[in-house]
Amino acid sequence: MIEFRMPALGADMEAGTLVEWLVHPGDRITSGAIIAVVETQKGAIEVEAFHNGTIAEIVVPVGEKVPVGAVLARIDDGVAAASPPAPIAVAETPVAMAEPPAVAAAPVAATAPAPAPRVAGARIKATPVARRRATQLGLDLSHLVGTGVDGAVSLADVEAAHPKAAPPAHKGFDAGAMRTAIAAAMTRSKREIPHYYLSETIDVSAALAWLERFNAAQPPAQRLLPAALLLKATALALREAPNLNGTYEDDVFTPGPGVHIGWAVALRGGGLIAPAIRDVDRKSLPEAMDAMRDIVKRARAGGLRSSEFMSATISITSLGERGAESVMGVIYPPQVAIVGFGRIAPRPAVVEGRVEARSLVTATLAADHRVSDGHTGALFLAALRDILSQPEAL
Amino acid sequence: MKEADVRALLAELIGEIAPEADLSSVGDDEDMREAIDLDSMDFNNLIIALHQRTGINVPEADYGKVVTLAGAIAYLRDKRLDQDDSRAQKP
């Protein structure tokens, strides 16, 4: 029997409210399936299972706020099924649920069959924003008629079912709670992490020219934004500086299991969030662009998953075309580095002894001095510069 | 495509990208990106949505022509006329 616990969705999270179960006792689940929605200071987050098995018991009812590590449900994995359920307890290692099971789960078929089990994937179809709004209004999605794609419940369906509801002032999240969460994480960062800072002005004229040629041949949905190049180039440059990619906890640096980049997304109504885009170094540019588009959309509309909060190994803050010229980031613990990109803009640069207007971007690195030194950081920024000067290699 | 139809379509598409944005408060010649805080991803998504809904493919080189309401209305009207003409000319 496996205890499915309230995950720690970030270094600063202490508790969460269970707002929706997407499974019932008897449902079969597979690792990675979304089985619950939890409301945190960062909004509603879809929580994934990390085991295969059958839901044996729902412990925490909808609406209850519980601390990180509290048992939310019990999952029968076919191992030690005869043992009595353990009492509810707060885990000493709250993020342990993120670990894959040490022993492969026994075949699900070996467990006692429940009558006509619902599969966890057979959830009520609804857009993330509709799901959030319904939760806010206390409406049960299963009672609504969906008019969206494939019968999905849309925001309009939810609003129609509750006509007196005013539109959400902050698009479904509490800006005050978000600010509290950011304050906690950033205060911890500045208190615990000895940051060092480096910057490099990079000529991206060739990269933008390449992008223009690429996009000219593509329909709108296949076009790339400059941010996709910055994302992929960062991932590749980390090969030159692997100890910028990982986490530092209990005086030990652990290299990241992959290059999972937390992409900082500014939220409408205030605040920001940096969910992870996984394995960026192994993605093609179009794949990186699609992943970025998807995560920005879900960060703003709701529907981020628990694993996306727990797996980032480094972060990027990119200010975009209307941002400031440069940014010195604050590391998100337990990560050990954050890369910043200012606005790409035409500025004077010296090219072969002459001053020319070139498209420049200021790339910065804030890194944890307990783990790396400025030399490592400089190698990383030099690699980033070289990669961006050869965009066709991306 | 009538002007009112283009306005309604833009309001609908922007409403999906930035639900809190009030397009009625944006002047016809104001840069929508500035007025309702659309970043490059939002604007890219607007171009994609326009393509999906109208079939009109705005090339990147023309993005500057559709950043204002007046510009977008004129651009889409002209493109729609072009499409109608090319259909009419087919045997």
- On whether both A258 and A369 belong to a single domain, the answer is yes
Split at pLDDT 50, 70, 90, the class of A88 is very low
**Strands A265-266, A354-368: pairing kind:** unpaired
Query: Among A300, A319, A341, A343, which would you mutate to test the B interface (most chain B Cβ atoms within 10 Å of its Cβ)?
Result: A300
The more confident residue out of A211 and A63 is A211
Q: Cβ contact (<8 Å) for A216 and B45?
A: no
Query: Among A136, A224, A322, A343, which would you mutate to test the B interface (most chain B Cβ atoms within 10 Å of its Cβ)?
Result: A322
Average pLDDT over residues B51-80: 92
CATH of the domain at A25: 2.40.50.100
Q: Which residues of A touch B61 (CB under 8 A)?
A: 216
Q: Which residues of B touch A171 (CB under 8 A)?
A: 19-20
Residue A357 lies in a domain: yes
Which pLDDT score is estimated for A215?
97
Q: What is the pLDDT of residues A8-67, one digit of tens each?
A: 887 667 788 898 899 999 999 988 888 898 888 777 888 988 888 999 999 999 888 998
Cβ burial A160-196 (10 Å sphere, 16+ → b, else e): ebeeeeeebebbbbbeeebeebbebbeeebeeebebb
CATH of the domain at A247: 3.30.559.10
Superfamily of structural domain B3-89: ACP-like (1.10.1200.10)
Nearest to A114 by CA among A26, A1, A24, A25: A26
Average pLDDT over residues B59-83: 88
Q: What is the pLDDT of residues B33-47, one digit of tens each?
A: 999 889 999 999 999
Any B CB within 8 A of A229 CB = no
Of the three residues A67, A94, A122, the one that is the final residue of a domain is A122
Which pLDDT score is estimated for A80?
59
The reported pTM is 0.73
Closest partner residue to A223 (CB to CB) among B44, B50, B52 is: B44
Residue A188 lies in a domain: no
Tokens standing for A236?
A: 């590749």
Residue A5, H or E segment: strand A2-5
Of the three residues A122, A144, A173, the one that is the final residue of a domain is A122
The more confident residue out of A327 and A169 is A327
ipTM: 0.86
Q: Which residues of B touch A129 (CB under 8 A)?
A: 19
Of the three residues A78, A93, A122, the one that is the final residue of a domain is A122
Is A143 an active-site residue? no
Residue A323 lies in a domain: yes
- For A93, the domain range is 2-122
Number of domains in chain A: 2
* Distance between CA atoms of residues A138 and A247, nearest Å: 39
